[in-house]
Chain A
Amino acid sequence: MVRNAIAGLGFDQDASMVVFPIAPFLVGGDIAPIGEAFERFVAGLTGWQPRSRDTGLRQPPKLRIEANGFEAALDRMNRQFLINTWGDGLPLNAPSQERVGWILQGSDLARDHVLGKVLPRGGIATVETIAISLAAAGGRPEYLPVLIAAMQAILDPAIEHDKWQATSGSTYPVVIVNGPIAKQIRLNAGFGLLGPDPRHPAGASIGRAIRLLLQNVGGALPGVGTMSMYGGMRYTNAVFAEDEDLLPAGWSTVAEDHFGIARGSNAVTVFVATGASNIVRRGVGKEAPDEEAQQSLARVASYLRSPSAHYAASWARGTPGALLMSQTVARQLDGLGWGKQRIKQFLWQASRIPGAQVRETGLYQWIQAAPDAQTIASADLDPWPISRTPEQLILCVAGGHHPTHNFWMQAMTPQVTGGAIELPAQWDMLIARGDEELGACEGGVCAI
């Protein structure tokens, strides 16, 4: 992990460090081994020598895989990728010149256009690097614009990806897509949007490509480059669309809320989740509508009202998390006078944590250890709100058209990032070809 971090700063992947097993780093741990290694600390400042004394660009060569037949070559490639720690355990497509060239049709940017360094390792993410991962992840060219926009958001320094890439927390990026592109590329906004869906395959490939980029280019290899203890939803991360067509009148989209990007424009919104909870929100069906609405929101607020240390990292400018609400529920609540802003205000108010609980659970120390003065100054608020303002809560209309559940994705996000999605000049042709190859989508239902 330290070697990764050093590489991300522009050094070779090499560092003068003294390594110990975890025990001395635990609360009350015996730190005698640190003292016993004193000479190694001195040597690190005096005798240690780096393995490299040259600066410059290191461009890895292509791999040539030989076997008796294509299928055997693909098998061998997949084994080699695992041995090189480049895979995720599931079969990959071959990122060949031909397949990567096909994927690159999804962008007018030059293939060597640099988006940034993926930290902590500091591998350089070019459009070509991104296309390689999308090709391997089973993607199509029309997915590339969303993937590029998502990676731009992830590489935005404000979201501090170097921190959540390396943390022991089970972080994973969540990409919410707004605009017509979602339907055009078959991105799910409805039933099962977080999981595999053959009729909406785009989210799985885009999310898997993000994971491969974070692992291979960014060095987030479990237990080595990322210390994430559980790993969260990392096979595909979470890439889905907001269900814009059926938003209640007057409801803004997520992209409007966070970036002022007008409805009907293509945009991504990215935050970093640390967990996910399904919330049974409806009543048993015998309540009065007003009673059910009030109780359901109170129940949701109780999930938000947890003494999570991650809230402290997001408090000043980020988001405490995203609440997914189906259009069925949004329209039902809206009809009862619960507009989007009123819901956010209620949830923010009702999820405040009593000061006694903030202290009893040790959340108080985490707030005081926050990196910004505004959050630290909030420690004595009683009750303590889970974010500075209600607007920071992401409320996304998405999920199957059913009234029973909400889905809460708690975050560790110092700032929500994102922006517009750029399409290539030949976009219409790509979509037409997608329809030709996969079958057209009609009435929100895709043939495949």
Chain B
Amino acid sequence: MDALEVFDPTGATEVTRLHAPRLPDLAGKTVAFLSNDMWQAHRMLPMLREMLQQRYRDIRIIAESEFPMGNVPIDRDDTVEQVLARNADAVIIGNAS
């Protein structure tokens, strides 16, 4: 029996960040939206915002239009800082396709 030992070609990866803990409940929380303004996000995100508002009367929603929109703008650190500055507890980002 012959053996061939070869490298895995996918390379190393490094996990440097952990996902934020989930919220126990959305009641009374601030939920921000970020949009790449593609793939019908302009229809879907407002619908979700409205449904969240109906479910949680005391929820605070920050619409996607209050932040930079587009694939490149939502990828910038500055956009993340804007979200943090608005004290968002959670963020919904759309849409990938």
Chain A residues proximal to chain B, CB less than 8 Å: 1-2, 5, 7, 9-14, 16-17, 22, 24-27, 29, 31, 34-35, 38, 41-42, 45-50, 52-70, 72-74, 76-77, 81, 86, 94-97, 100, 118, 121-126, 128-129, 132-133, 136, 160, 162-163, 168, 212, 216-217, 227, 369, 371
Contacts and interface: CB of A to CB of B under 8 A. Distances in A.
Minimum-distance CB pairs A-B, first 9:
A371-B72, A60-B8, A10-B16, A25-B39, A123-B11, A73-B4, A129-B11, A65-B4, A217-B11
A68 B8 contact: no
10 contacts: A25-B40, A25-B97, A31-B43, A42-B55, A53-B18, A68-B2, A97-B5, A121-B13, A122-B14, A217-B10
Contacts of A128: 7
Contacts of A57: 12-14
B5 A61 contact: no
B4 A58 contact: no
Majority secondary structure, B binding face: loop
A24 B48 CA distance: 14
B85 interface: no
Contacts of B39: 25
Contact of A60 (B12, B14, B55): B12
Contacts of B40: 24-27, 29, 31
Nearest to A160: B72
Given A2-B96, A100-B7, A227-B97, 20 more contacts: A10-B17, A11-B15, A13-B13, A25-B39, A27-B40, A45-B31, A45-B90, A54-B15, A56-B15, A57-B13, A61-B8, A66-B1, A67-B1, A68-B1, A121-B13, A123-B12, A124-B14, A129-B11, A133-B9, A217-B10
B43 to A, nearest CB: 5
Contacts, number: 180
Contact of A34 (B2, B48, B72): B48
Interface in B1-49: 1-19, 22-26, 31, 37, 39-40, 43-44, 47-48
B71 interface: yes
Given A25-B95, A64-B5, A66-B2, A31 B47 contact: yes
Best-surrounded residue of A9, A69, A73, A126 (most CB of chain B within 10 A): A73
Contacts of A369: 37, 70
A448 B70 CA distance: 50
Contacts of B18: 11, 50, 52-53, 55
Given A25-B39, A94-B4, A371-B73, A47 B12 contact: no
Best-surrounded residue of B18, B25, B43, B47 (most CB of chain A within 10 A): B18
A10 B23 CA distance: 22
Contacts of A77: 4, 6
A13 B15 CA distance: 9
A50 B14 contact: no
A76 B23 CA distance: 48
B47 A60 contact: no
B9 A46 contact: no
A38 B5 contact: no
Contacts of B43: 31
A64 B15 CA distance: 26
Contacts of B10: 60, 86, 123, 216-217
A86 B25 CA distance: 42
A63 B8 contact: yes
A190 B3 CA distance: 42
A124 B11 contact: yes
A11 B20 CA distance: 11
A34 B51 CA distance: 11
Contacts of B1: 66-68
Given A60-B8, A86-B9, A95-B9, A46 B16 contact: no
Contacts of B63: none
Nearest to B10: A216
Given A46-B22, A50-B19, A217 B72 contact: no
